[in-house]
Structure 1
Amino acid sequence: MKRLLIVAHAPSPNTQRLRDAAERGARHPDIEAVEISVKAPLEAGPEDVTACDAILLGTTENLGYMSGALKDFFDRSYYPVLGEKQGLPCALYVRAGHDGTGTRRAVESIVTGLRWRWVQAPLLLRGDWQEDFEDQVEELGLYLAAGLEAGVL
C-alpha cells in the first residue's frame, strides 16, 4: 500500500474547502491501493514524511511568502528527512490573494534543497475566490493518488 501525505494550511473556510477537495480527490473510489493522511502543518512532522511515498503541500500566500505554519513544518522536518527522502514526488497548491510568485519560489527553494521531485508545476489559485479552485485542487489530489497507485510517480 502506497501512502500520500497531504500537508495543508487551512486557516479559513475557503482554504478548508481546498484541503477537503485535495483529500476528496485522493480518496476517489476508483483508487484502492493508496492510504491518505491529511495533516495541518503544525501537526505534521518528519515521521509523517518518512512514512509517505508522495506529498501534497498546500499553503496560503502570507505577505508574499508561505504560511508560517508550513514554514514551521519545513523547519522541523528539513534535516531529519534530508538524506532519507530524496526524490520524493511532491506537488503544491497556493491560495494566493495576489500573484503567489514569492510563495511558490519560497517553497520551491526548500523543495530543491530537499531534492524532492516535482510531479506537476505548482498550482497557483490567484485573486478573488473562484468556485473552480476546489475542482483544480481535487484534480491535483486525484492525480497524485492515481499516479502513486499506477506506479508512475
Structure 2
Amino acid sequence: MNARKRLLIVFHSQTGNTARLAEAVLRGAQRVEETDTELKRAFDTRSEDLLVSDGVLLGTPENFGYMSGALKDFFDRTYYACEGKLVGMPYAVFISAGNDGRGAVREIGRIANGYRWKSVAEALIVRNPIKDENLLAAEELGEAMAAGLAMGIF
C-alpha cells in the first residue's frame, strides 16, 4: 500500500477574506481520506512543515499588486533550508484580490520557480466580496489537489 500523502495549506489573512478561502480549500481537501491535510498561517509555517509535505497550496490577499508580506516572509524563512529538496513539488495558489490578483500570482510563481516547484492548477483569484460560488471553487481546488496527490497524478 502507498504511503499517505501530505498536503500543506499556507495562508495569510488580515481582513478574514483569505482565511475564508483557506477554510474552504481545507474542507475540500479533507474530502479525500487518503491525504492528510494541514492548514497553517504563513507566520507559523516552518521549513520542516514544507519538507514533510507532498504538495502545497498557497493563499494570500493581494497587497499593492503583490502577495502579502507574511507570505513573502514564509518564503524568505524557508527557502535556503528547502533549497533543492522539494524539486517538482506540486503547488497551486488562491488569492483574495481587491484588484486583478495577477501581480501576486506572477510573483509567487517566480519564487516557486526558485524552489523548482511545479504549478498544477490555474490560480484561483477571487475578487472581493467573496461569494458562495467562490467558496465552492476553493473547495474544488482543495479537493482536486488532495485527490491528485492521493492518486499519484502529481
> What range is the shorter-chain TM-score in?
over 0.9
| Superposition map of 1:1-153 within 5 A | 1-28=4-31, 31-153=32-154
- Contact 2:59–2:93 (CA<8 Å) still a contact in 1? yes
Q: Measure the CA separation in 2 of the matches of 1:137 and 1:26.
A: 10
Any idea what the Cα deviations from partners look like across 1:112-141, whole Å, max 9, x if unmatched?
Answer: 111100011211112433221111111000
Report the TM-score when normalising by structure 1. 0.94
Aligned-pair distance for 1:35? 0.8
Q: Which runs of 5+ in 2 are unaligned?
A: none
Q: CA RMSD in A?
A: 1.1
What is the identity percentage for the equivalent residue pairs of Structure 1 and Structure 2?
44
Aligned-pair distance for 1:63? 0.7
Runs of 4+ in 1 over 3 A off after TM superposition: none
- Contact 2:10–2:42 (CA<8 Å) still a contact in 1? yes
Q: Measure the CA separation in 1 of the matches of 2:100 and 2:131.
A: 15
* Number of equivalenced pairs: 151
Q: Which runs of 5+ in 1 are unaligned?
A: none
| SS class of match (2:42) | coil
- Contact 1:10–1:19 (CA<8 Å) still a contact in 2? no
| SS class of match (2:60) | strand
